[in-house]
Amino acid sequence: METDELLPLLSATAQGNKQAFAKLYSATSPKLFAISLKMLSNRAHAEEALQDAFVKIWHNASEYQVSKGTVISWMISIVRYRSLDSLRYHKVRKEQSLDDDNAYMEPADQAITVDYEGKSKLVDCMEQLDDQQKQAIHLAYYKGLTHSELVDHIETPLGTVKSWIRRGLQQLQRCLTL
């Protein structure tokens, strides 16, 4: 799923080519759906977020430019931001995914097992972080947890959680720009 393959599909989508859009969907939807599902832990909500994201991709395809990153990264961001909105909307509604027939729950263990596919500089830099920093960033990225939710999840004071995230990100940035 390299940018080389996706860019022509996205360009054709920007011209209103629905066939290209369908191919783009086939190539990317399993990954994008998995990202949304991991965050929302609910198939129905994740499918709705995916629908919204792809409708946005259809309408905004012409907005993409290479300086925004790879096509897949641009699409992942659209899906993640839509999923974050959905997550917070449903949390406010106090919907419990356990009560939902379509619920899909991951084991509620504290740590997230992460097995990166392939190597990137980010992965190398993540490996250099303290375990706590890494865990806090993982939980925020994959599960969409806010600072205060991280406090409950890893039973650590708010100031410490904020500091893990901030210092982790600062260290990542230093490592990434080396």
Q: Binding to another protein by residue 123, rule CB under 8 A?
A: yes
**Least distance from C-beta 72 to another protein, angstroms?**
8
Per-residue contact flags (x/-) with another protein for residues 36 to 55, judged by CB under 8 A: -xx----x--xx--xxx-xx
- Candidates 119, 40, 126, 124; CA nearest to 83 is 40
User: String of b and e for 35-51 (b: at least 16 CB within 10 Å)?
Assistant: bbbbbbbbbebbebbbe
159: amino acid identity, one letter: G
**Can you tell me whether residue 42 is helix, strand or coil?**
strand
x/- binding map, residues 60-89, to another protein, per CB under 8 A? Answer: x-xx---xxxx-xxx-xx--x---x---xx
Dist CA 71 CA 11 (whole Å): 10
Using DSSP's 3-state secondary structure scheme, residue 172 falls into helix
Residues that bind another protein (CB under 8 A): 18, 21-22, 25, 29-31, 33-35, 37-38, 43, 46-47, 50-52, 54-55, 58-60, 62-63, 67-70, 72-74, 76-77, 80, 84, 88-89, 114-118, 120-123, 126, 137-138, 140-142, 144-147, 165-166, 169-170, 172-173, 176
